């Protein structure tokens, strides 16, 4: 049956949580994630059926006008998370909210990482996201033991842009692909519930997705074979300030309204008509 976006009259879905994400994966329903940084966009995304709202550190670039995500502070993410959560609560929203851990908020010590993650949970997030492979495994385990659900992030990790010399495809060589697969398995073992895979070959994303059972992959520039998709809000609304990555689709251009763009995004993710590997993938 073709996917239908919820209408204004449709009964509200139950709140999205870690269990419903697993149920979605179990029934083969892709998870639709989108970034949002304020109350109004979060409410419209929620009404359109977006499952998960990510308060990403991409806000450094799209809201604060910075060159990278590195200058974003923990207070910034707390502020935007509170705005998103306040909007959803006021409007009976049911989307799950994930807050990104910004650069420097988990790099110094486990103690610092736990304090930062706790601040984001107290701001209203239901899960935190952090970038990294082997070096964050223990951190993920410690978060999970303390009741903090984790979304991991592998492939292109924008917080490492200066170390890797640009925003480019990851996991291209057999060695890099194998390291990514091993990191993904270790993150799942440590208790990560979701895993963002950014800018990796579609074939590798499928391999990792299939290897993981309790951890669900969310792709961005990772092809159509992941358990879900995520895009940056401003990108999918066609706001061309800088370079537009190949994996982005302008949903506003095809629909003419923000509500329409969100509904089309959800419908295309749910029916796996977005992304198209030949057009948006690597």
Q: Is 56 in the site for ligand KIV (CB under 6 A)?
A: yes
CA 183 to chain CA centroid, Å, is: 18
Candidates 46, 100, 183, 268; binder of ligand KIV (CB under 6 A) is 100
Q: Is 46 in the site for ligand KIV (CB under 6 A)?
A: no
- In this chain, which of 46, 57, 183, 268 binds ligand KIV, going by CB under 6 A? 57
CB of 257 to ligand KIV, least distance (A): 23
Active site residue 198: yes
Q: What is the token pair recorded at 131?
A: 């970038």
Active-site residue among 29, 182, 188, 198?
198
Query: What does the angle CA 168 – CA 170 – CA 175 come to, to the nearest 5 degrees?
Result: 145
Nearest to residue 134, comparing CAs of 167, 182, 171, 175?
182
- Least Å distance, CB 33 to ligand KIV, is 8
Q: How far is the CB of 60 from ligand KIV (least distance, A)?
A: 8
Draw the binding track, 213-242, toward ligand KIV (x: CB under 6 A; -: no contact).
-------x---------x-x----------
Long-range CB pairs of 27-31, under 8 A, 24+ apart, other chains included: 29/270, 30/226, 30/227, 30/228, 30/229, 30/269, 30/270, 30/272, 31/194, 31/216, 31/218, 31/227, 31/228, 31/229, 31/269
The answer to whether residue 81 forms part of the interface with ligand KIV (CB under 6 A) is no
Distance CA 73, CA 50 (A): 26
52 touches ligand KIV (CB under 6 A): no
Binding site for ligand KIV (CB under 6 A): 35, 54, 56-58, 100, 196, 220, 230, 232
């Amino acid at each position: 049956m073709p996917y239908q976006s919820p209408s204004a009259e449709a009964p509200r879905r139950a709140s999205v949580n870690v269990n419903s994400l697993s149920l979605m994966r179990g029934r083969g329903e892709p998870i639709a994630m989108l970034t949002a940084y304020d109350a109004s966009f979060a409410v419209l995304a929620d009404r359109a059926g977006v499952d998960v709202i990510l308060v990403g550190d991409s806000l450094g670039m799209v809201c604060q006008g910075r060159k990278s995500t590195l200058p974003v502070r923990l207070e910034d993410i707390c502020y935007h998370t509170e705005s998103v959560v306040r909007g959803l609560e006021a409007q009976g929203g049911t989307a799950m909210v994930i807050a990104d851990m910004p650069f420097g908020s988990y790099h110094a010590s486990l103690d610092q990482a736990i304090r930062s993650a706790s601040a984001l949970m107290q701001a209203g997030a239901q899960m935190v996201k952090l970038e990294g492979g082997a070096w964050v495994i223990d951190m993920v385990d410690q978060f999970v033991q303390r009741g903090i659900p984790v979304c991991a992030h592998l492939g292109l990790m924008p917080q490492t842009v200066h170390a890797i010399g640009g925003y480019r495809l990851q996991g291209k060589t057999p060695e890099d692909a194998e390291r990514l697969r091993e990191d993904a398995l270790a993150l799942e073992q440590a208790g990560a519930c979701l895993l963002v895979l950014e800018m990796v070959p579609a074939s590798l994303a499928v391999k990792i997705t299939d290897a993981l059972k309790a951890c669900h992959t969310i792709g961005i520039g990772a092809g159509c074979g992941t358990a879900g998709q995520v895009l940056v809000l401003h990108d999918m609304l066609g706001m061309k300030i800088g370079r537009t990555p190949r994996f982005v689709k302008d949903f506003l251009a095809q629909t003419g309204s923000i509500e329409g763009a969100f509904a089309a995004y959800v419908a295309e993710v749910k029916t796996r008509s977005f992304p198209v590997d030949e057009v948006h993938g690597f």
